Structure 1
Amino acid sequence: MKISSFTNTSRRQFLRGVGVAIGLPTLAQFASPAFARSVEKPPRRMLLISNNLGVLPWHFFPKESGRDYALSPYLEELRDYREQFTVFSGLSHPAVVGGHSTENCFLTAAKDPTGSGFRNTISLDQFAVEHLGQPTRFTTLNLGVNIDKANRSLSWTRDGVLLPTEDKPSELFRRMFVQGSPDEVRRQLKRLEQHGSILDTVSEDLHSFQSRLGRDDRNRLDQYFTSVRELEERLHVAGEWEQKPKPATDRDAPEDILDKAKFFEKFDLMLRMAQLAFESDSTRIVTLMVDGFATPVFEISEEERSLNGYHNLSHHGQAKDKIAQLERVDRRQMQVLRDLFGRLSEKTEGESNLLDHTMILFGSNLGDANVHNSTNLPILLVGGGLKHGQHLAFDRDHNKPLSNLFVTLLQSAGIEADAFASSDGNLNELLK
């Protein structure tokens, strides 16, 4: 199944027929024997990662711009992949201020999260889903590390509703690979049917008084009906997928790491689960929030534990011992990412590899956690077959919207989008 964009009408027609149009995805041959598949053209994927406490900015950003820049101390950890990533400076979300409150806005760019009556907006991953339909069992997977599930997420609906994260690798593995019994499948289908009946009833009730509303209210109601119809379509497709066999794997189910102090082990395991989801074509979009705010005293290495919980450590107040520890924390984080890039680049897919077909965005909602600054965000984009090997530096005092980069990611994924959130253009200099 080739990823492509759809108009609203053609997308709905596609989704209504998806139950008979797609079976279990046929998969491309991987170096690992865990999966075997064959597709005409490898799909495009996105892995969107945010650490809500960021990194020490002076060790992250290069001093020079362009292609001949000298790697910064942190980017030295990624030297082997220099030609496969782009680092950005001078990007942020306009009017997204409020310290830690901005963490839920990293993929939405919703303004003024501390303002009275704030309501979040649709996140990048969910916007992409609206245009791509559901060519895989899961439209997206929304993951977390040490996540405060009730209050934090990278993924939000068009109506500004938080989509909860999955923080248990074992449960994620079960959803992707463990086939339910016939009775379990029937029960799940029954639940999906019941949700559909509720939506039908709500729609009928609202249609009965729609004619009595003013123009603005009718427009709002039309938007609501559109959301209801799209949800019904998703329920229909979910029902079709529920009746299809899940892919097989020779991997063992992972054991959950319950100790929050094992922060980097948990981060690495979740990245491995995201990779497994891509390899099995269970989804093509994954979000991952690394919740430093909720992380207590943690292990930096086998020999060292943090002086404080991650949040308190990030508010270093220029204390030399805290800054030195944060540098080691940030370097370890870069090393975990480097290992992911290595694994993806070793996985053959078509005439290339999995890294070339996966756009990996790593960044944070905070440019400097010590002072709650939310400008000049640390942003790294890796893979995806884009034109990399450069530092794209924009005005650090008058930042360019980060959403411009999001527009380019959408377009690279095959979505005909000219705008997203606060964008005022794109960064298509990344496209080949």
Structure 2
Amino acid sequence: MNKSNRRQFMQTIQGAAGASLALPLFESLAGAAATKLSSKAAKPPVRMAIYYVPMGVIRRGFFPGESETEIPKFVSEPKAKSLIEYKVGIRKLQSLTATQKPLESVRDKVTFVSGLNRTYRHGSDVHAQCGSCFLSSATGETVPSSIYPLNRTFDHVVGDSIGGETPFRTFELSCNSHKDNKESIYFDNISWYGTGHVATSIRDPRQAYDRLFGTKRMSLQRDITDLVLQDARSLQRKLGRVDREKFEEYFEGVRSIERQMDKLSKLKSNLKGVEGVNVPDSTESLMPRGEYIRLMGDLMIAAFQAGLTNVATMMIGPERWNTPYMFEGLFDKPVSHHVMSHNQKQFIGELLKIDKFYMEQFVYLVQRMAAVREFDGSTLLDNMIFTYGSGLGDGATHQYTDLPIIVAGGGGGRLQQGMHLHCAEGTPLSNLWLTQARALGLKGDRFADSLRVETDLLK
């Protein structure tokens, strides 16, 4: 679908106070032109999203065969090697490890990629590099004046190619709304326009909602679905059965987001009326962490559904911050992920729970994508490349080798699924980004320090 076609058939519904809600493409409304558009020659766009988890993982929980290996001490070994040798190549994804267990319901929709390494450059903190350079890994000669191997990140390179047909070339989200920052921007951002130029992430769900649906300047303090409700009811009567179900799914998804944000606003309002209570600024001080992550993810999915963006990033937490987080259902008080990661022997049980918790939120989003239907009968997940990953292979060793990577989605039918690919020793992470670029239709034989396309990942 070219740029003019996508914009021509982008549907909206109007309402009170000038409100308008962007909609997915409905074949019922566009008549013969849409029929032509949705023929075999035209397919839904392939989208890309990143789900970045901080502080690496506990290897014995994530990687096959390492469950009985020695628990590492706090060291700095950027080039530490995996404790287990796997056979190089691609094979069926067999048994899932403890941390991977939540993937069981979507096993045939994901591929586990192991053996990938990332560029390390002496002179700056390991945590700062692992977050800021996860999507870059530039070669030294590319950015000689910087202590970070950081150039234009992969999401923006992709956005330059497939994002121009959407209102938002890229869409950056962060699930860290705390204001007690004692670190530089390099610890808390994975998306960059270029060396030293950060692409600021949205951290407040209300701000993300306002940006997507244009409600910020509305004088009426009402949800957009209320403002367009009358027109929405009229629209439903014009839709065929399949499109009507698709509309109800999307509209209810946006309403669910609004209900969560309204609940948050009401809680803040009630707390302001309690004497002696300071209302916290951060979203996660008022909302359970898992609910916060899922809400931000739901906003991302709504943006994909409505054709507002084709490229998004989610940084689930910052690197090295010692700010405690409340992981609901895991602990009875807030804990510092970073502090615990340096003492795995003492906190191994707690850290394994956190890793699994983050995987559960990832799986929730994968399942949501699988439930979203496209105009041609496929799903959003079929046309998605959704990557879970971290810039550290282990939070104690601080290694940049053998990173934890899961790729979900079919990439428009171009990616293998339900597999485990183990890459040859010395394979750079940027090979994965180059491979994904190829699946997304980008030209070029190199990205950052890549060596080749990992053809085993492609169909």
Identity of aligned residues (%): 26
Q: Residues 325 and 182 from structure 1, CA distance in 2 versus in 1: closer, same or farther, beyond 3 angstroms?
A: closer
For the 8 Å contact 2:163–2:170, the answer to whether it is kept is no
Letter in 2 for 1:46: M
Q: In 2, Cα distance between the equivalents of 1:303 and 1:430?
A: 35
Structure 1 equivalent of residue 373 of structure 2: 348
Match of 2:447, SS state, is coil
2:133 pairs with one of 101, 105, 109:
105
Residue 302 of structure 2 is aligned with which of 270, 276, 293?
276
Tell whether the 8 Å contact from 1:300 to 1:328 is kept in structure 2 after alignment. no
Q: CA deviation at 1:374?
A: 1.5
CA distance in 2, matches of 1:136, 1:426: 27
CA distance in 2, matches of 1:296, 1:94: 27
Q: Which residue of 2 is the match for residue 74 of structure 1?
A: 99
What is the Cα deviation at residue 271 of structure 1? 1.1
SS in 2 for 1:259: helix
Sort the Cα spacing of 1:67 and 1:283 in 2 relative to 1 into closer, same or farther, 3 A: same
Aligned residue in 1 for 2:47: 45
Residues 303 and 314 (structure 1), Cα distance of their counterparts in 2 relative to 1, 3 Å cut:
closer
Q: CA deviation at 1:130?
A: 2.3
1:276 and 1:308 map into 2 onto residues whose CA distance is 31
AA paired with 2:331? E
Matched, 1:414 2:403: no
Q: For 2:372 and 2:6, how far apart are their aligned partners in 1?
A: 28
Unaligned stretches of 5+ residues in structure 2: 13-21, 28-36, 66-85, 220-249, 265-281
- Counterpart for residue 324 of structure 1: 349
The alpha-carbon distance between structure 1 residues 137 and 294, as it changes in their structure 2 partners (threshold 3 A), is same
- Paired residue type of 1:381: V
More displaced 10-residue stretch of structure 1: 300-309 or 277-286: 300-309
Equivalent position SS for 1:351: coil
Where structure 1 has 5 or more consecutive residues not aligned to the other structure, the ranges are 4-17, 28-32, 184-247
CA offsets, 1:296-319, max 9 Å, x none?
322333362467311101112422
Matched, 1:387 2:416: yes
Relative distance call for 1:82 and 1:305 in structure 2 (3 A) is same
1:162 corresponds to 2:206: no
Structure 1 CA distance for aligned equivalents of residues 107 and 53 of structure 2:
21
Asked if the contact 1:96–1:110 (Cα under 8 Å) also holds between the matched residues in 2, the reply is no
Please say if residues 385 and 408 of structure 2, whose CA atoms lie closer than 8 Å, have aligned partners that are also in contact.
yes
Please tell me the residue identity of whatever aligns with 1:341. V
TM-score by length of 2: 0.68
CA spacing shift, 1:280–1:69, aligned 2, 3 Å: same
Q: Does residue 310 of structure 1 match 2:330? A: no
CA distance in 1, matches of 2:291, 2:139: 34
> 2-side partners of 1:400 and 1:108: how far apart?
15
Q: Is the 8 A contact 1:315 1:369 kept in 2?
A: yes
In the TM superposition, what is the alpha-carbon distance from 1:137 to its structure 2 partner?
0.5
Distance 1:353 1:90, change over 3 A: same
Q: Secondary structure at the match of 2:94?
A: coil
Alignment CA distance shift 1:96-1:145 (3 Å): farther
Give the Å deviation of 1:179: 5.4
Structure 1 residue aligned with 2:172, among 137, 142, 162?
A: 142
Counterpart residue type for residue 145 of structure 1? C
Q: Which of 364, 381, 393 is the equivalent residue of 1:339?
A: 364
The answer on 1:132 being equivalent to 2:168 is: no
- Of 312, 315, 327, which aligns to 1:286? 312
